[in-house]
Amino acid sequence: MNTMSYKGYAARIEYSDEDDCFVGHIAGINDVVGFHGDSVSELHTAFEEAVDDYLETCKKAGRSPQKPYSGHIMLRVPPELHAKAAMMAEAHGKSLNSWVTELLSGAD
């Protein structure tokens, strides 16, 4: 699965054998916003248009668009793992938040 982003919104991208094109949906919101394109270029354009249309539709309807990811992650981990992560962060001279962010940034 591949992704792209625009105006803070991310999209999940897949290839549809059935439709013989790329299809995508805005991720991280409950509203269903989809788009498609025959090429990567068309897909980028369709995604940006879908986001812009979504924002405009919300504005016309007088409601706030759903926000994608807030940047906050709440995790429940065993105390031992929490302690180990805190020690690793300290050993690297970083806050736990900075250390975990750095690790997640490398996750593909």
Report the pLDDT value the prediction gives residue 85, as an integer from 0 to 100: 92
Angle subtended at Cα 24 by Cα 18 and Cα 25, rounded to the nearest 5 degrees? 125
- Domain borders along the chain are 2-61, 73-108
Residue 69's pLDDT is 76
Q: What SS3 class is residue 31?
A: coil
Q: What is the pLDDT at residue 96?
A: 93
The average confidence (pLDDT) of the chain is 91
DSSP string, 45-100: HHHHHHHHHHHHHHHHHT-PPPP---S-------HHHHHHHHHHHHHTTS-HHHHH
Q: How far apart are CA 13 and CA 29, in angstroms?
A: 15
Band the pLDDT of 67: cuts 50, 70, 90.
confident
What percent of the chain shows pLDDT beyond 70? Answer: 98
Q: What is the pTM (predicted TM-score) of this model?
A: 0.67
